[in-house]
Amino acid sequence: MIHFIVATNFEARPLIDFFKLKKKIHIEEFQIFNNEEISLTVSGIGKIFSALAVAHTYFQFGKKKNQIWINFGLAGHKNLKIGKLVLVNKIIDSNSNFTFFPFFHKKFNFEKKNCTTYDRPDTNYNDSLSDMEASGFFGAASKHSTTEFIHSFKIISDNQNESINFRDEKKIYRIISKQMKNINSLVKEVNLLKKKYFSEIPHIDQEISKIFEKVNFTFSEKEQFKKIFRLHLLENPKLESNLIDFSCDAKTNIKKLRQYLKI
Amino acid sequence: MNFDNIYLEEEITELTETKRILNNINYQNIVTCKNYKEIFNPKNQNFRIQKLNPSIILAKKKNNFVLETPKNFTIGYKKNFYFSHMFNCIFDCKYCFLQGMFNSPNFVIFVNYYDFIQEIKMIANSTNEKFCFFSGYDCDSLALQVL
């Protein structure tokens, strides 16, 4: 699943419309919108809320590891043009000086910049993007996923010469909407990587527990069996019917599976 | 050689060796860091995915330049030493232990190779015994010789 963490409703609206997300109505702590593949959580402004939103989303969507986490929002920069999409390649927490380094695939051919996360709005523009969420987001998401699937995409909202009105919902909607195709292509790229390297084997746990119900395994036999069985399912998504003999004991079945896999 | 990202320790940005290496690489971004371990050591990284687009990390090694090998690790000499002036390799050979030795596939290059030379000389001058130095234990020295 792809989880977006966005600070405000204004920033979230273009994504909600583009991905056709629907609000989860029974949740009170955060506003969460989702469809089958994508969720979007409106965290509120600030790194603590952003980190909390990550944790909350993680538990809301079944505590699944190695999902895609994207922090999306507006950011300031010294001289970049308003409306420009920038990828964050280093996140610095201004308060603690903690740093995070996202990884980018070769196809991510967009401008990349550092991003400094401040506790309060900052107008001392420099060559680093300024925001108020990225460090909290990245720190929290790192607990649940591998670095390659955690990203922060920013759209420039203000620079030393000009700024948008942050209360102008229509203006924010317009500048974000212009970049939605690019954001979508980036998200697709990350999703492709995920599918290639972390493909989930459907119903693996169900298959294993069915076998454990019919054959008696000791604890260590269960662990051995799970490892070998996963290897088997990596190559053959469907279990061959004659591979597990329910009339035999656990040891025999493990031996048989080992012989079959030649390990 | 082409790389998207070069990670650079803040301490070594002005060194001549750093500038010379940077001149030999085509890159898009330089990202500074305090210590190469910030990028190289975190556990929640996927070696295989990052191998699709590895970066170079230029760093300064602070200590343990040359280390003594285990006793049985020898090709005939009584005393043996090894040193790693780089980590990882540009190739991706299936049989090689480097595909999984570290959390990250990025290539670390220690630019202060003169410190390695100095320590090798010091060990060599300390006795008349013959001994052996194994070079580039955690890397492929020849593969990145161009830098």
Per-residue 3-state assignment (H helix, E strand, C coil) for B14-66: CCHHHHHHHHCCEEEEEEEECCCHHHHCCCCCCHHHHCCCCCEEEECCCCCCC
Order of strands, sheet of B131-135, starting from the edge strand that comes earlier in the sequence? B67-68, B79-83, B131-135
Say if the Cβ atoms of A146 and B34 lie within 8 Å.
no
- Tell me if B5 and A89 make a contact (CB, 8 A cut-off): yes
- Judge whether B100 and B47 are in contact, CB under 8 Å: yes
| pLDDT band for position A85 (cuts 50, 70, 90) | very high
Query: Beta-carbon neighbour count of residue A193 at 10 Å?
Result: 20
Tens of pLDDT, residues A198-216? 766 556 777 788 888 888 8
- Mind giving me the DSSP string for A67-129? -EEEEEEEEE-SSPPTT-EEEEEEEEETTT--EE-----TT--S-EEEEEE-SS------SSE
Question: Is the ipTM above a cut-off of 0.90?
Answer: no
Question: Percentage of residues in chain A with pLDDT exceeding 70?
Answer: 95
Query: What would the two tokens of residue A242 be?
Result: 């004659």
Segment among A54-58, A113-117, A176-180, A227-231 with least mean pLDDT: A227-231
Phi/psi of residue B139, each to 5°? -160, 180
- Give the dihedral sign, CA A207/A209/A215/A217: positive
Q: Is the pLDDT of residue A225 over 80?
A: yes
Average pLDDT over residues A107-120: 89
- Quick one: pLDDT at residue A258? 86
Using a CB-CB cut-off of 8 Å, the residues of chain A touching B27 are none
Q: Of the candidates A150, A154, A155, which has an alpha carbon nearest to the alpha carbon of residue A103?
A: A150
B94 HSE (CA, 13 A, CB side): 0
A65 chain-B contacts, CB cut-off 8 A:
none
Identify the closest residue of chain B to A193 by CA–CA distance.
B49
Q: Pick from B111, B132, B48: which is nearest to A196 by CA?
A: B48
Model confidence at A227, in pLDDT bands (50, 70, 90)? Answer: confident
CA distances from B57 to B5, B15, B30, B45 (A): 9, 15, 10, 16
Closest CA of chain B from A140, distance in Å: 12
pLDDT band at residue A34, thresholds of 50, 70 and 90? very high
Distance separating alpha carbons of residues A179 and A181, to the nearest angstrom: 6
pTM: 0.83
pLDDT value of residue A201:
56
- As a whole number, mean pLDDT of residues A131-153 equals 95
Residues of chain A with a CB closer than 8 angstroms to some CB in chain B: 89-90, 99, 101, 103-106, 112, 114, 142, 145-148, 193, 197
Could you list the beta-strand ranges (E) of chain A.
2-6, 22-23, 31-34, 38-42, 68-76, 85-93, 99-100, 112-117, 129-131, 150-158
CA nearest B2 in A: which residue?
A: A106
> Which domains does chain B show, CATH number per domain?
2-135 (3.40.50.12110)
Neighbours of A82 (CB within 10 A): 18
Which of A101, A109, A138, A191 is the best substitution to test chain B (most B C-beta atoms within 10 A)?
A: A101
Residue among A65, A89, A103 with most chain B CBs within 10 A, to mutate: A103
Q: Please tell me the predicted confidence (pLDDT) of residue B71.
A: 83
Q: Which ranges of chain B have pLDDT less than 70?
A: none
* pLDDT tens, residue by residue, B131-145: 889 888 888 888 887
Encoded tokens for A236: 């053959």
More confident residue, A61 or A263: A61
State the architecture of A2-197 in CATH terms: 3-Layer(aba) Sandwich (3.40)
Query: Per-residue pLDDT for A240 more than 90?
Result: no
Q: Which one-letter amino acid corresponds to residue B7?
A: Y
Whether residues B46 and A112 touch (CB distance < 8 A) is answered with no
Q: Which helix (H) or strand (E) holds A180?
A: helix A180-197
Q: Which residues of B touch A142 (CB under 8 A)?
A: 42, 44
Residue ranges per domain, chain A? 2-197, 204-261
Whether residues A197 and B44 touch (CB distance < 8 A) is answered with: no
Residue numbers in A near B5 (CB within 8 A): 89, 104
Interface probe with A: pick from B2, B3, B4, B34, most Cβ of A within 10 Å: B4
Nearest residue, CB atoms, B38 vs list A99, A104, A193:
A99
Whether A242 shows a pLDDT value over 80: the answer reads no
Would you state the pLDDT for residue A199?
A: 67
Mean pLDDT of A21-46: 91
Q: Judge: B49–A146 Cβ closer than 8 Å, yes or no.
A: yes
**Contact assessment for residue A250 and residue A221, using Cβ atoms and an 8 Å cutoff:** yes
* B31/A114 touch (CB, cutoff 8 Å), yes or no: yes
C-alpha–C-alpha distance, residues A77 and A129, integer Å:
5
Task: Compare CB distances from A103 to B29, B38, B50 and report the shortest one's residue.
Answer: B50
pLDDT at A197 over 70: yes
Average pLDDT over residues A218-236: 81
Residue A176, pLDDT score: 95
Residues of B with CB under 8 A from a CB of A: 4-5, 7, 28-29, 31-34, 38-39, 42, 44-46, 48-50, 52-53
In one-letter notation, the amino acid at residue B99 is Q
Most confident of A40-49, A114-123, A251-260, B87-96: A40-49
